[in-house]
Amino acid sequence: MVWNTLFVPLRLVAEVLSTLVKLNLLTQAGYGLLALISGANNGFGTAVDLGTQRALPKYIPELNKAGGARAVLRLLLAVFAAQMAVLLVIAVGLATWLRGPYLGTLRDKILADPKTGLVDQLQLLGLLDGYGALVIGAILALLFLGVCYDMFMAYLNSFFKQRAWNSIALAAGLLPQLLSVAAILILPDQWDILGVLAATVLAPTIAVALAGWQVLRLQIVAFRLQIEQERAADASADSTVGQSAIPRAASSESAVRQSAIQNLKSAIPKGFIPYTGVSFLMTATDFVASAGFAIYLAGDIGDVAVLTAGAALAKMALGYLYTPMVGVQVPLFTRVRQGEGGTLNGAYQSLVRLQLLLFVPGGVGLMLLAQQALLVISPKYLVAAPIVWVLVPCLFIESLLTTAHNALIVYEKLGVIIISRLLTLAAVAALALLLPPRMGLLGVALAFGLSRVAAGAWATGSGYRLLGLRWPWRFTARVLAATLAMSALILAARGLLPPLADGALIAERLREAGLMFALAAVGAVGFFVALRLLGGLDAQDKAQLLKLKLPLKRWLAKLI
């Protein structure tokens, strides 16, 4: 978690810079078009993934313990082959019968927006007509790179290689932003969209190369260790049995051949296919209940841009607050299940307390400063503030409830997971029919936000019933009370921020951003002071904090 957190500031700066450039220098229609292309990539990527991204962090540690590096490699190769087969089907479809309908959908969204000027419309339509093949090619390239990247990063996560994982994730997060900014600033208007697409392909190519190199190094070390262990075992058996060298060698070679045949049959471990099936259902429903799918329910390209901007602000904040938990929960629960230390409920409550500490004040602070943040980013997206107010509670609460979901899937309570995901689909279908006609774009956001909360609530209730998971209510009450104190402080000081004019220069907006971050910092200090007065961290969390190799840890433990 420490390594995860140390890399946040650089990623935050890069993403904020990129968002500022995209929202201000791209037309609203151009930004919406990029969002639609990204949504298609996410949708096809869900199909190609086959649920393996969630499954691998569980099965890699188990296989490594049971069969060593060879078993892990066999599993990775089998998964890669299956994903490539699905990708081939998608590639053939996009190159032939799906190409026309997909590009036609993009054209319809552009033509449906009355706010888009004629020049912008013609430019985007000309891009689709002249370079539609490049758009399709970029999607397919991203799908292939996504397969490689997810597999490599799952391997690193499985062994808690957070320093390497975060270095690569930093590159994967920084490069698309920086290259996209360069493309927008350097290329003329008619080429900026294609430049951003090229940047989104080049950046993951570099990240995949870095991740592949790290995994190769780890696999070489693991293979050497396994070979040494096998040789030592053979030598011990020789000395015990007292056989001659030649018969023993023959016996060893025969055993190796038999072992190879047996290992080939067991490349896919027991339970892996049902587990990935449920994981695929989870990934698919996550996509259906996401902005990437919801934007296709929006009326026109302008609504797509507004919904994407509001969702991006909420997801950006949640993503950085969730950073300490990245790659931790599933491997942690797996090791608890394997008897490597700790209890399930202890691990669960520790994770929930940390998330409460981050998500509750962070989410409330974002809602209080949403309008100021959107004015700084781009005044034309101020209309996205209600989207933020709706999505922040939904997405932040759902992330808290997902902890029980991860424990359930590690303990293979697959029936419960299936019900929760079917509940998501039913909620999305019902709410998408009811809310958008009555509430417009806000209804679209509510439809996918509330459906995620419904599934998370079912999973948390099932974790209480089946696994004995208990919510840390006392700590929750302390965090809520401290958040109320923080909110009062922010509301009292928010009026001191100087108003921004519609045509404010970049220097004025950067000054406003600095003041807004200073106000957020004051609110954070107020939160921790109030939390400390209310009792601070639980005793076990303080003890855990003191075990970490952190500077000023004793001062930090006294503070909170």
Q: Where are the domains of the chain?
A: 1-269
Least confident of 182-186, 456-460, 479-483: 182-186
Pairwise pLDDT comparison (251 vs 406), residue with the higher score: 406
Rounded to the nearest integer, the mean pLDDT of the chain is 79
Task: Locate the DSSP E strands across 371-420.
Answer: none
Among 2-16, 273-287, 353-367, 433-447, the range scoring the smallest mean pLDDT is 2-16
Dist CA 392 CA 388 (whole Å)? 6
236-290 tens-digit pLDDT = 655 555 544 444 444 444 544 455 445 545 667 777 888 888 888 888 888 888 8
Closest CA to 139 of 280, 235, 62, 34: 34
Determine the average pLDDT of the residues in 531-557: 71
Q: Give the residue-averaged pLDDT of 297-312.
A: 83
Q: Which residues, other chains included, contact 99 with Cβ-Cβ below 8 Å and sequence gap of 6+?
A: 132, 136
More confident: 263 or 41: 41
Coil, strand or helix: which one is 403?
helix
Lowest mean pLDDT among 18-27, 46-55, 404-413, 460-469: 18-27
DSSP secondary structure code for residue 343 in this structure: -
Per-residue model confidence as pLDDT tens digits over 365-381: 999 999 888 888 777 88
pLDDT higher than 80, residue 549? no
> Could you please report the per-residue DSSP string of 541-557?
HHHHHHHS--TTHHHHH
Distance CA 170, CA 53 (A): 19
Residue 189 has pLDDT above 70, yes or no: no
Mean pLDDT in residue range 162-187: 73
Look up residue 385 and give its amino acid. Answer: A
Question: What one-character-per-residue DSSP string does 110-145 give?
Answer: HHT-TTS-HHHHHHHHHHHHHHHHHHHHHHHHHHHH
Q: Report the C-alpha gap between 17 and 11 in whole angstroms.
A: 10
Query: What percentage of the chain has pLDDT greater than the value 70?
Result: 81
Q: Which of 75-79, 85-89, 385-389, 525-529 has the lowest mean pLDDT?
A: 75-79
Q: Is the model's pLDDT at 327 over the cut of 90?
A: no
Q: Span 65-94, mean pLDDT? A: 84
- Whether the pLDDT of residue 466 is over 60: the answer is yes
Q: What does the alpha-carbon distance between residue 504 and residue 516 come to, in Å, rounded to a whole number?
A: 16
pLDDT of residue 477: 93
CA 525, 3, 45, 21 torsion-angle sign? positive
Q: What is the pLDDT of residue 356?
A: 92
Q: Examine the pLDDT at 524 and tell me if it is beyond 80.
A: yes
- Burial-class residue 229 by CB neighbours within 10 Å (0-12, 13-18, 19+): exposed
Instruction: Determine the average pLDDT of the residues in 318-328.
Output: 75
Q: Each residue of 191-244: pLDDT tens digit?
A: 778 888 888 888 888 888 888 887 787 777 766 776 666 666 656 655 555 544
Tell me if the pTM is above 0.85: no
Residue 5: per-residue pLDDT = 64
- Span 148-159, mean pLDDT? 79
Is residue 330 pLDDT above 90, yes or no?
no
Q: How confident is the model at residue 160 (pLDDT cuts 50, 70, 90)?
A: low
pLDDT attached to residue 166: 66
Per DSSP, 500 falls in state P
CA pair distance 203, 183, nearest whole angstrom:
13
Burial of 291 (0-12, 13-18, 19+ CB in 10 A): buried
Looking at residue 244, its pLDDT comes to 44
Confirm if 283 and 56 have CB atoms less than 8 A apart.
no
Instruction: Find the helix or strand (DSSP H, E) in which 309 lies.
Output: helix 301-321
Q: In the prediction, which pLDDT does 260 show?
A: 46
Contact 411, 273 (CB under 8 A): no
On the question of pLDDT at 503 being above 50, the answer is yes
- Which amino acid, 88? L
Higher pLDDT: 510 or 245? It is 510
Residue whose entry in the numeric block shows the structure tokens 């070679």: 253
